[in-house]
Amino acid sequence: GPHALRLDTKYYTVDVAATVHTLPDDDAAGDEAFGERPEAVVAVFDPTRDGSFAKVTGWCEAREYSWSPEIRMLVCRYPTKGAMDAEFASSADAADDWAVENGYEAVAVIASGGDDDEALELRGDEQGMRRVRAAIEAHAWPGLAMKPGGDPTATSIGEDEAAEEHETVDERETAEELDGSPEDEPGASGDDLERMLREMARVRAMGATASDSERRAMAADAAMRMMSMFGIDSDDDGEDDEATAGAA
């Protein structure tokens, strides 16, 4: 279920509920139970992996008639700048076309981070995690509390990350939902979320040459670290392979 995530920007603070859904390899639609309509959806796929784009977009399309989030982002998560240079021509057009047809914004992110991601621009448009943060933080979240002197029309990026990027292991993809319903559980900070993204990428790279059983063990271990980061007790999720977390 959802767990606590606090957005603390220059202009306001708000507690939102964020849930991470990892998509099993054999089920693009997923079978999670859904609650209220999310305010935002951030769908993440790896353009360097066959089937990743179809799995994530299929998951979103299956829910088109049950939700209408105001923020819709399709994140093309390239492992490195070199991978983006090699794959961009073949992946960007498909992502852009699908995003336009379905009311999403396609954003390229470089998972290795650093200056490559921070300064990323494509066709004159801002990309990377800074664009994801800006879109999330520009939203008028229900229950937000303006800071003294805050400008309600401003969209500047604050210190904390406003979106979680969870790259999966063991051939899984991810989508995130955020809504304005706070939870009592402590949440992960934005910095923790970005570290989680990079850790998942590292584990996936290690699993590239591992056996199926070893990859599953790596996936379970990574999921446990992710749940710990969100303050979730490991007893709350009985499936070793499933990595579902959220914040509110």
What pLDDT, in 10s, does the model give residues 42-63? 999 999 998 999 999 999 998 8
Q: How many other CB atoms are there within 10 angstroms of residue 180's CB atom?
A: 19
Q: pLDDT-based confidence at 231, cuts 50/70/90?
A: very low
| 116-160 confidence digits (pLDDT tens) | 999 999 888 999 999 999 999 999 999 999 999 765 554 433 333
Distance CA 175, CA 203 (A): 19
Q: Under a CB-based contact definition with an 8 Å cutoff, are residues 247 and 18 in contact? A: yes
d(CA 51, CA 46): 9
Distance of CA 162 to CAs 80, 158, 173, Å? 22, 9, 20
* Of the candidate ranges 6-10, 86-90, 186-190, the one whose mean pLDDT is the lowest: 186-190
CA nearest neighbour of 111 among 48, 178, 28, 19 = 48
